[in-house]
Structure 1
Amino acid sequence: MTVAPKRPAAMALAAHFPERTEAEWRELVAGVVNKGRPEGEHLGPDDAVASMRSRIDGGLVVEPLYTRPAEPTPLGVPGEMPFTRGRAVRDADVPWDVRQLHDDPDAAATRSSVLADLESGVTSVWLHVGADGLAAADVAEALADVRLDLAPVVVSSWDDQVGAADALYAVLSGSAAASGNLGHDPLGAAARTGAPADLSPLAGAVRRLVGRAELRAVTVDTRPYAEAGASVTDELGFALATGVAYLRHLEGEGVEVVDAFRHIEFRVSASADQFLTAAALRALRRAWARVGESVGVPEASRGAFTHAVTSGRMFSRDDAWTNILRSTLATFGASLGGADAITVLPFDTVAGLPTAFSRRIARNTQIILAEESYVARVTDPAGGAWYVEALTDDVATAAWAVLQEVERGGGMVEALANGAVAQRISADVAARDHALATRAQPLTGVSTFPLAGEKPLGRVRRAALPTQAGALLPHRDSAIFEALRDRSAAFAAEHGHPPRVAVPTLAVPRAADRRVDAVNILTVAGIEAADDGTDVAASLTATDTGYEGVAGDMDVVAFLSALLDETGAPA
């Protein structure tokens, strides 16, 4: 007879700590915040706590402390309403699709890199087709070595979605066990190119996949909005509005709403804010399940299939190696959020087409997280953490409000056509650029800890995507600082050295530390600091801000632009 082992007693880790009230905590916060403040400027407990609140992307407020609510919302379980915790229970051995992007127009090179990736841990293939990627006629060649019964294949395109879908279907139709997505996303294409949205191919694409349960026809790709500068909440709101537009159109074309719902996959961005990324994915599933409930989709079919892609907007051209850090955080957040597929863009994406080395780093980023850090061993590992739960609620509420606003204005097709989407994104960009310029939102290797004397990465440039008026063009966060570097590079090309500014050590308190701050600020723009006035075009002490302003809170971009004007660097 086998005797079951006794369960160890629960560990009461906090049992010896006295209970504290929130009021007591607030008093302690005030004591810390008021240290160093003049006695007449001390803050009360409420104001002290308020001073510790911060804002993140989308204007979301982060509290300094999160505790169990008096009436917490039931957490639920994966695979059931409201699907916050996941579309299904995660398979610890294959927790998500490791999906690599291929956009090299050379069909032979793409074929080789696809095979190398699959042999090295990648589990699904993503081909980008069109003027800025692979030709539709070369899709079959690129996939010639792929075991279609083992590796899902998806395509995307901004200017040739029908051609890309037809080319992939021709390949996948030869394998009864093939899986993937044909990539129809007319609203995403309209957003990225400025061309009118044409939803007419959707119904035919869905109908020809009848009986092919492992194939989907439609992708709601939110990258055009995110890379143009949309906040997380706007990005998800546009995703929901786009999905609703597709459901409405397909139902009008005679497709059953349950069938239409099954065909929609979401491709969303993952940022270096790991908890916001996790909350966004959890919120998207919750909101999309609510849409499914509203239109009569059975509960078992309401879980959204999500594909997370490391955000191209967060990638920097300068000190590109820091992109690996950003991608690691984004991948971790996507894992916490329960993404079904994850794509890590190579760190040299901004410079051009990736190398074998940068593709290896990209795929290994998520393979190591999944297999060696054990982050994938638990489904929804952040579930129940009050910050993550509160943030999920906030994101879902804000995204739903965006959906409602778009619907009141006539739907996503109308919102794109009349500029409402562009207007919302412009407001997001203005707020973020201010935070970036003042370094309230720092960029490692760009606005903080810049690398002096860096040599640009040599990569083959991608072909440009033709666009029309009204297209949502990519707007990377680091672009405002890279423009300053470009001015210094143009000066160096003409004079044989970068702009030089005198930064003497002043007779002030903490002079050495302040000089280091000033030198780092100058390096952000590629300006060389000098100890004296030898061969310099300007002097930092001659500016209105001086060291005190450089070390404090200031608009760094405006300051450096004025300084470059003084040195004569071309605008």
Structure 2
Amino acid sequence: MTVSPLDLAAEFPPGSRERWRELALGVLRKSGFEGDDPEAALSSVTYDGITVEPLYDRLPAAPRVLRAESSWDVRQRHAHPDPAVTREAIQADLENGVTSLWLDLTSLDPAALPAVLDGVFLDLAPVVLDAGPRTEEAARIFLAIAAGTALAGGNLGAGPLHPGLPDLVRRCVAEQPAVLAVTVDALPYHDAGGGDAAELGCSIAAGVAALRTLTDAGISAGQAFAQLEFRYAASADQFLTIAKFRAARRLWSRVAEVCGVPEAVQRQHAVTSSAMMTARDPWVNMLRTTLACFGAGVGGADAVTVQPFDAALGLPDGFARRIARNTQALLVEEAGVARVIDPAGGSWYVENLTAALAERAWTWFQEIERAGGYAAALETLIPGRLATARAARAREIARRKSPVTGVSEFPNLGERAVVREPGPGLPASPGRVRYAAEYEALRDHADAQPERPLVFLATIGPVAVHTARASFAANLFAAGGIATVTSGPGTDAAALAEAFRDAGTPVACLCSSDRLYGEHAETVAAALRAAGAERIWLAGKGDHPGVDGNIRAGGDALDVLRTTFADLGIAPKGDAR
């Protein structure tokens, strides 16, 4: 008997883009939308200028470049300056699911490598070095330790412009064929505020620069390609992260094809973003790094490093390292994310985003090449591109269009401080910008005051009317470490003014509905001014006599906070307000 295939959509009427637009427009108009293009209203633009559309209904004509295996290498970073502490952490990691090590030797003396790696089976656990200007010293010591052992893999960590690059490659080829010599580290471009396409384009340019150096030194193109590993940031935007790693392989495959090595595949090391990490409410970092790890794994990274949730505070403790390990274990072993080589393959959204990222990154790579190549562009072209994206991101963070949970949104003024041993919790990256930094600086300044800074909320009308805007205002002021006290429900201007006097602060904010603002804002503002208010904000839109300014969704929250600090007489040094 022949059984016909099950058609899951058989009982549903066929859909069309036009019908979707009609339905979407109906929903938007219920929320006040006055336009006639739902796709434009629901689209967003990345910091590289790529439009992310709300609906995709076709696949792009582009090739898929897959990683060799479905699972990935669980790689943890070690940077404690004490060799004994580092050795203990390494042993704990290897015993509990970590499969390779990333040794940050910018704070740990390379001479300590024998002690640090004592007891590590180097034929089973690959080691990646990161020694900066001491790369050759670290490589020499590491290769001496490994003499007589066939290493499982790893990387000496030389950058693409390292002067001794060809010699390190020759040593790897001759002594340890499984070990690579070159790390093309794209983290600095991400950390400096660059978009994903900018990060990709810079990395491809850096990789090509390394290839030129190696082939000019007489090393074959095949050997040169085999010696490179690329390190990329994975952010909490899971779809952009998935698309970035897929696009990176596609870009490098094109370079390999042009160079006559079509079989070369890009090796990728994903590191959860340092820029997205927060020092305030650091527990939320667990959610951020989980999303980033998921995106990197689905995108096809060969190795993933999940940064401990307390890394922005200093040297991570054992609990944080355990959570970082277990994040990967849960995704690989329990969620089954690593069971498929390309889980996002065929998704119209991911495929189109991958193609758009690859196209924009390739255009940027070509700009770098026209500017004289990677080394020249580092001084001329690249800083400007990163600065443009950094400024755009800063505007969105200031306006809370890119919210930082626990910092710019839903801050907890009563949170208990998490203290860690000072040290390089995050990988070194000159010019790094942490997204939460400006808000956290204000929080720190507020916490340092003898008393908690305070703003009075004049809640006009009944609770049901003023609660939404009062909550919004309290959340905004708390993002800068400023507490709020409310007047309670009511419309009597004299009573509100008396409550304001009792609060003992020169700053007030009116909170109510637009209708009640029209009836009472001017009277209440006049009463507050007579009671000594130096600054009167209004939560929402609209101009009213006696009101100095508005706090609203999409407004510059950092500007409001800095102005309020000045009004309270506690402006940080250097703020001219």
Partner Cα distance (1:181, 1:304) in 2: 14
Q: For residue 452 of structure 2, what is the aligned residue in structure 1?
A: 498
Do structure 1's residue 442 and structure 2's residue 398 form an aligned pair?
no
Do structure 1's residue 87 and structure 2's residue 67 form an aligned pair?
yes
Trace 1:365-514 onto structure 2 (pairs within 5 A): 365-418=327-380, 420-462=381-423, 472-491=430-449, 495=450, 497-507=451-461, 510-514=465-469
- Offset of residue 28 of structure 1: 2.0
- Offset of residue 26 of structure 1: 1.6
Q: For residue 205 of structure 1, what is the aligned residue in structure 2?
A: 168
The amino acid that maps onto 2:390 is V
Q: For residue 56 of structure 1, what is the aligned residue in structure 2?
A: 46
The amino acid that maps onto 1:359 is R
Trace 1:67-106 onto structure 2 (pairs within 5 A): 67-69=57-59, 72-73=60-61, 76=64, 83=65, 86-90=66-70, 95-106=71-82
The amino acid that maps onto 2:414 is G
Matched position secondary structure for 1:321: helix
Alpha-carbon spacing, 1:499–1:116, altered in 2? closer, same or farther (3 Å): same
Aligned-residue RMSD, C-alpha: 2.1
Q: Deviations over 1:314-354 (max 9, x none)?
A: 00110000000000000000011011000000000010001
Partner Cα distance (1:526, 1:74) in 2: 49
The amino acid that maps onto 1:368 is L
Alpha-carbon spacing, 1:158–1:503, altered in 2? closer, same or farther (3 Å): farther
**Does the 8 Å CA contact 1:75/1:384 hold for their aligned counterparts?**
no
Q: For residue 149 of structure 1, what is the aligned residue in structure 2?
A: 123
Q: For residue 496 of structure 2, what is the aligned residue in structure 1?
A: none
The amino acid that maps onto 2:85 is A
**Does the 8 Å CA contact 1:169/1:182 hold for their aligned counterparts?**
no
**Does the 8 Å CA contact 2:128/2:156 hold for their aligned counterparts?**
yes
Alpha-carbon spacing, 1:186–1:242, altered in 2? closer, same or farther (3 Å): closer
- The higher-RCO structure (CA 8 Å, 6+ apart) is 1
Alpha-carbon spacing, 1:186–1:163, altered in 2? closer, same or farther (3 Å): farther
Partner Cα distance (1:22, 1:232) in 2: 29
Trace 1:257-406 onto structure 2 (pairs within 5 A): 257-297=221-261, 299-300=262-263, 302-406=264-368
Q: For residue 6 of structure 2, what is the aligned residue in structure 1?
A: 11
Alpha-carbon spacing, 1:75–1:397, altered in 2? closer, same or farther (3 Å): closer
Matched position secondary structure for 1:503: strand
Partner Cα distance (1:241, 1:535) in 2: 59
- Offset of residue 544 of structure 1: 5.6
Alpha-carbon spacing, 1:150–1:505, altered in 2? closer, same or farther (3 Å): same
- Offset of residue 163 of structure 1: 2.2
Q: Give % identity.
A: 43
Q: For residue 158 of structure 1, what is the aligned residue in structure 2?
A: 132
Partner Cα distance (1:252, 1:343) in 2: 33
Partner Cα distance (1:66, 1:256) in 2: 43
- Offset of residue 36 of structure 1: 5.0
| The one of 133, 143, 150 aligned to 1:176 | 150
Alpha-carbon spacing, 1:416–1:499, altered in 2? closer, same or farther (3 Å): same
Q: Deviations over 1:90-142 (max 9, x none)?
A: 2xxxx111001000000000001100100011001110002xx2111111211
Alpha-carbon spacing, 1:54–1:545, altered in 2? closer, same or farther (3 Å): farther
* 323-332 or 157-166: bigger deviation: 157-166
Matched position secondary structure for 1:287: helix
Bigger radius of gyration: 2
Partner Cα distance (1:473, 1:74) in 2: 35
Matched position secondary structure for 2:189: helix
Partner Cα distance (1:366, 1:36) in 2: 40
- Which segments of 5 or more consecutive residues in structure 1 lack a partner in the other structure? 1-5, 77-82, 188-198
**Does the 8 Å CA contact 2:311/2:426 hold for their aligned counterparts?**
no
Q: For residue 495 of structure 2, what is the aligned residue in structure 1?
A: none
Q: For residue 508 of structure 2, what is the aligned residue in structure 1?
A: 539
Q: For residue 563 of structure 2, what is the aligned residue in structure 1?
A: 562
Q: Deviations over 1:125-161 (max 9, x none)?
A: 110002xx21111112111111111111111133322
Matched position secondary structure for 2:180: strand
Do structure 1's residue 525 and structure 2's residue 525 form an aligned pair?
no
Partner Cα distance (1:119, 1:474) in 2: 33
Q: For residue 109 of structure 1, what is the aligned residue in structure 2?
A: 85
* 160-169 or 261-270: bigger deviation: 160-169
Partner Cα distance (2:434, 2:554) in 1: 23
Q: For residue 227 of structure 1, what is the aligned residue in structure 2?
A: 191
- Offset of residue 463 of structure 1: 6.0
The amino acid that maps onto 1:515 is A
Q: Deviations over 1:408-431 (max 9, x none)?
A: 00011111133x221111111100
The amino acid that maps onto 2:86 is T
**Does the 8 Å CA contact 1:75/1:383 hold for their aligned counterparts?**
no
**Does the 8 Å CA contact 1:422/1:472 hold for their aligned counterparts?**
no
- Offset of residue 254 of structure 1: 1.2
The amino acid that maps onto 1:547 is A
Q: For residue 192 of structure 1, what is the aligned residue in structure 2?
A: none
Partner Cα distance (1:7, 1:331) in 2: 44
Trace 1:34-49 onto structure 2 (pairs within 5 A): 34-35=29-30, 37=32, 42-44=34-36, 47-49=37-39
Q: Deviations over 1:17-61 (max 9, x none)?
A: 111222222222222222254xxx8433xx222111112342321
The amino acid that maps onto 1:118 is L
- Offset of residue 75 of structure 1: 5.3
Alpha-carbon spacing, 1:167–1:272, altered in 2? closer, same or farther (3 Å): same
Alpha-carbon spacing, 1:415–1:23, altered in 2? closer, same or farther (3 Å): same
Q: For residue 522 of structure 2, what is the aligned residue in structure 1?
A: none
The amino acid that maps onto 1:307 is H
Partner Cα distance (2:538, 2:9) in 1: 50
Partner Cα distance (1:64, 1:341) in 2: 31
Alpha-carbon spacing, 1:111–1:8, altered in 2? closer, same or farther (3 Å): farther
Partner Cα distance (2:506, 2:423) in 1: 37
* 175-184 or 541-550: bigger deviation: 541-550
TM-score relative to the length of structure 2: 0.87
Alpha-carbon spacing, 1:230–1:505, altered in 2? closer, same or farther (3 Å): same
Partner Cα distance (2:434, 2:159) in 1: 23
- Offset of residue 7 of structure 1: 9.5
The amino acid that maps onto 1:350 is A
Alpha-carbon spacing, 1:262–1:170, altered in 2? closer, same or farther (3 Å): same
Q: For residue 553 of structure 1, what is the aligned residue in structure 2?
A: 554
The count of aligned residue pairs is 524
The amino acid that maps onto 1:438 is R
- Which segments of 5 or more consecutive residues in structure 2 lack a partner in the other structure? 487-498, 511-532, 541-549, 573-577
Alpha-carbon spacing, 1:359–1:243, altered in 2? closer, same or farther (3 Å): same
